[in-house]
Amino acid sequence: MKDEELYDSPTKEEMNKLAVEAKKRWGHTTAYKESEQKMRGMTKEQMDIIKKEGDDILKKGVSLIDKDLHSKEVQDLIAEHYKHLSNFYTPNPEMYKGLAEMYITDPRFKKHFEKYHPELPQFMHDAMIVFVENK
């Protein structure tokens, strides 16, 4: 799969719509403010590296779909995913659980993950919930 297939480039209008939605939903939170500050400080090169890291995490996820969610391999990957979020904000278990729910309920997340593998959204959700429960 080519990068352009994985990273659908949203139009400027779509980006503005997403920004308005995010501000409305989370603008009052510390995590939102932290994310805004971190994103503004990133160069394109830094963002490209972060996207590549995220892509690698999801590709590893696909390779682990048939593994036990409690296995060290899967939970190490999810720990890496959790840490990866710190590029944007400081995650906590409650936020992470909410993100896991979005992976299966928000069509935008679901569609993105399904490009890697049809079962990836549910796998990520379930593995993330195990991670939170063991934290």
For the stretch 20-79, pLDDT in tens is 666 677 667 777 777 778 778 788 888 889 889 999 999 999 999 999 999 999 999 999
**Domain enclosing residue 33, as ranges:** 11-41
User: How many distinct structural domains can be found in the chain?
Assistant: 2
Is pLDDT at 1 greater than 60 in this prediction?
no
Closest to 66 measured CA to CA, from 117, 6, 128: 117
| In a shared domain, residues 75 and 88 | yes
Convert 69-88 to b/e letters by CB count within 10 Å (16 or more is b).
Answer: eeeeebbebbeebbeebebb
CATH number at residue 56: 1.10.490.50
Ramachandran area for residue 93 (φ above 0: left; ψ -120 to 50: alpha; else beta)? alpha
DSSP string of 88-124, one letter each residue: TS---HHHHHHHHHHHHH-HHHHHHHHTT-TTHHHHH
Instruction: Answer whether residue 22 is part of any domain.
Output: yes
- The reported pLDDT for the residue numbered 12 is 58
Instruction: Answer whether residue 1 is part of any domain.
Output: no
Q: pLDDT tens-digit profile of 94-114?
A: 999 999 999 999 888 899 899
| In a shared domain, residues 29 and 54 | no
- How far is it, in rounded angstroms, from Cα 65 to Cα 102? 19
- The reported pLDDT for the residue numbered 33 is 74
pTM for this entry: 0.81
79, amino acid identity: A
Share of the chain above pLDDT 70, in %: 81
- Taking each helix axis as running N to C, give the angle between helix 72-84 and helix 120-133, from 0 to 180 degrees, rounded to the nearest 10: 90
Lookup: tokens for 86: 């710190």
| Higher-scoring residue by pLDDT: 9, 42 | 42
